[in-house]
Structure 1
Amino acid sequence: MAPTNIKPITVYGHYLPFPNPPKVFILLKLLGIPYNHVMKVASDDPTLEDGIKHPNFTSINPNGRVPAIADPNNNNFHVWESGAILQYLAEIYDTDHKFSGKTVEERSMINQWIAFQISGQAPMSGQLIWFSVPQGHLLKYGEKTPDHVLLRFRNEVRRIYSVFNAHLEQQKAKGSDWIVGDRMTIADIAWAPWTRTMIYMPTYDPTFYDEFPAVKAWFAKMEAIPAVQETIAELTAPAPKN
């Protein structure tokens, strides 16, 4: 149970399809922690006051990326990088270990899968998206992505999901539908948004996840969780006004 009488945590984020901020919102909702969402603009312009490169934000996250949080319940402590934020929130607010590890071994397994997500799934998927969508490499550099570059990242994404799928199959054989142990943890929360982003990108191959049935089944369970659905609804950009 989360501590009572806590002040809202400030969360700096973007709308979808940016996949890292949703991790934070999902966990906050699951823990019942109040928060204030500060929308940042994904711009490299350091003079844009609401942008991620303005000094008022790089003083919080020197990398100039979202998500980041400011915790008024802990001397306005700043945390940036989505994996680090999940671990911080779990350590401070998940006092019943409902979504975090109850033992050193369990915490280690959770941290391993979070590390693999932020070092493998996220950057490799991000590169594949960047080189695939017209708004990425083509728009910035005015040239088509070489075939061997696309092949490199497609193969690496498939390798990563093969590892993930094999692990989920092992978990299923033990009677679990989740990444670690017998319940959803912050490891599952870390993996879900990038899995969703891959599905909804314009270059997504609808047969891609058919190669990974355990991932497909796990993702369906994640998408059915109310906190995930509420986060998707909250972070879906409103339609532009005419």
Structure 2
Amino acid sequence: MAPVSVKPITVYGHYLPFPNPPKILIFLKLLGIPYEHVMKISTDDPKVENGIKHPNFTSINPNGRVPAITDPNQNNINVWESGPILQYLAEVYDKDYRFSGKTLEERTLINEWIGFQISGQAPMSGQLIWFSVPQGHLLKYGENTPDHVKTRFRNEVRRIYGVLNTHLEEQKAKGSDWIVGDRMTIADIAWVPWTRTMIYMPTYDPTFYDDFPAVKAWFARMEAIPAVKETFVELTAPSAKA
């Protein structure tokens, strides 16, 4: 648990289905770190005061995206991009290495899998969703996505989950249920929200994970963790709960 003297960290995020902010809340809950969640509006209009492109937020994250955090316990440092935020929180607050690497080798492996998540799983899944659901490309541009575009991203997403599935099978053979080492780490946390986004997107393929049984079993373990369940409840918009 965090020391009593720890001040709440400000987390800038969205309600679901945006999949990157949940990573940060899950980790803060696991660490027992208090936080204040500030919901930002997804818009390209810099005049919207609570929007992600307004100067009062681009001064925190120049890319105008969530998540980002401001840590009053460390001279109000701003940290943006979900991978670096996880790594920052691990370095500052996970002093007993419950969820981070104890050795150089463990830290390197964790960073590799976080890097693969943010450079592979997230953007490829995001593009597949954008071009597959009617609220994406069709709504904005008024035209259907060419089949070859959806095929390109579908194949790439399947390739990425194939890599993860093979790795989790190898981990299982070593006696581990996790992506790195013998315990859940920030690598596992990083992969959860986008995995959840795919598994709950029936307009894409409701049986997608049947082809990746090790991923499916790993995700079920992650989804059963209280901090994970609580985060997704917290990030469900009030209108969706009604």
- TM-score when normalising by structure 1: 0.98
Provide the C-alpha distance between the structure 1 equivalents of 2:204 and 2:241, rounded to a whole number of angstroms.
Answer: 28
Write the letter of the residue equivalent to 1:122: A
Q: How large is the RMSD of aligned CA atoms in angstroms? A: 1.3
Is 1:43 the counterpart of 2:43? The answer is yes
Rate the CA distance shift 1:86–1:241 in 2: closer, same or farther, 3 A. closer
User: Is the partner of 1:180 in helix, strand or coil?
Assistant: coil
Is 1:159 the counterpart of 2:134? The answer is no
Provide the C-alpha distance between the structure 2 equivalents of 1:191 and 1:30, rounded to a whole number of angstroms.
Answer: 16
Write the letter of the residue equivalent to 2:219: F
Aligned to 2:80: 80
Structure 2 unaligned segments of length 5 or more: list them: none
Provide the C-alpha distance between the structure 2 equivalents of 1:236 and 1:196, rounded to a whole number of angstroms.
Answer: 13
Aligned to 1:114: 114
Rate the CA distance shift 1:221–1:18 in 2: closer, same or farther, 3 A. same
Contact 1:2 1:94 in 2 (8 A): no
Deviations 1:152-210 (A, max 9, x none): 00000000000000000000000000000000000000000000001112423121100
Contact 1:2 1:95 in 2 (8 A): no
Is 1:104 the counterpart of 2:101? The answer is no
Q: Percent identity?
A: 82
Shift of 1:241: 10
Structure 1 unaligned segments of length 5 or more: list them: none
Following superposition, which runs of at least 4 residues in structure 1 exceed 6 angstroms of deviation?
none
Shift of 1:25: 0.1
Shift of 1:240: 6.7
Aligned to 2:53: 53
Write the letter of the residue equivalent to 1:67: P
User: Is the partner of 1:70 in helix, strand or coil?
Assistant: strand
User: Is the partner of 1:135 in helix, strand or coil?
Assistant: coil
Deviations 1:113-166 (A, max 9, x none): 000000000000000000011111111111100000000000000000000000
Aligned to 2:129: 129
Is 1:90 the counterpart of 2:90? The answer is yes
Instruction: Figure out how many residues of one structure are paired with residues of the other and give that number.
Output: 242
Provide the C-alpha distance between the structure 2 equivalents of 1:94 and 1:2, rounded to a whole number of angstroms.
Answer: 9
